[in-house]
């Protein structure tokens, strides 16, 4: 059985939250669990930050539920719409509502996530998924994340 790694990273490609699902599972439902686990310790006193300023994601994370979740948390969303979402909105006419805001300039920075995945895949065991058990595979991914943090 294959596994899929989901992660939230900061602007310097350091992993903040790592999640694992079955390989056939979709990306969009995983976002609420990743955000629930997000806690970034502050330098001084105070509670950890649990809400990012903005979230950049690819079209796989574009869903009405994800956009509503991020809107309720007051997180600015930079996720392009899927073609079928655009078609459905246009087909419905004025009842389809207006398109969600999207900033293509900020979206260019989404490659930080892809570069972080590439850093993980420098380990042959992670790239080829040799591990039989998901817990062993997750341990390798977490160890790789620790090394990414130590390099910074």
Residue 108: CB atoms within 10 Å: 10
- How confident is the prediction for the chain on average, in pLDDT? 90
Continuous H helices in the chain: 31-37, 64-72, 83-92, 104-107, 111-120, 124-128, 134-151
pLDDT of residue 1: 58
Under the banding of pLDDT at 50, 70 and 90, the label for residue 17 is: very high
Question: What's the alpha-carbon Rg for the chain, to the nearest Å?
Answer: 17
| Mean pLDDT score, 57-73 | 92
Stronger pLDDT, 130 or 147, i.e. the higher one = 147
Contact 20, 3 (CB under 8 A): yes
Domain boundaries, the chain: 3-151
| Cβ partners under 8 Å of residue 5, min gap 6 | 18, 19, 20, 117, 120, 141
The percent of residues above 90 in pLDDT, for the chain, comes to: 51
**Mean pLDDT lowest among 5-14, 92-101, 102-111, 141-150:** 92-101
What torsion, rounded to 10 degrees, do the Cα atoms 35, 39, 40, 45 define? 140
pLDDT by residue (tens digit) across 38-49? 999 999 999 999
């Amino acid at each position: 059985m294959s596994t899929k790694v989901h992660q939230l990273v900061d602007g310097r490609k350091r992993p903040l939250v790592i999640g694992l699902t079955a390989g056939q599972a979709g990306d969009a439902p995983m976002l609420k669990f990743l955000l629930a686990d997000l806690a970034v310790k502050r330098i001084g006193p105070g509670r950890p930050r649990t809400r990012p300023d903005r979230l950049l994601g690819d079209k796989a994370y574009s869903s009405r539920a994800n956009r509503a979740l991020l809107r309720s948390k007051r997180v600015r969303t930079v996720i392009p719409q899927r073609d079928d979402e655009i078609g459905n909105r246009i087909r419905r006419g004025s009842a389809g509502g207006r398109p969600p805001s999207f900033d293509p300039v900020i979206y260019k920075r989404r490659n930080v996530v892809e570069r972080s995945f590439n850093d993980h895949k420098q380990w042959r065991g992670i790239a080829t998924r040799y591990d039989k058990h998901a817990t062993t595979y997750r341990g390798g991914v977490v160890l790789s994340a620790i090394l990414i943090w130590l390099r910074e």
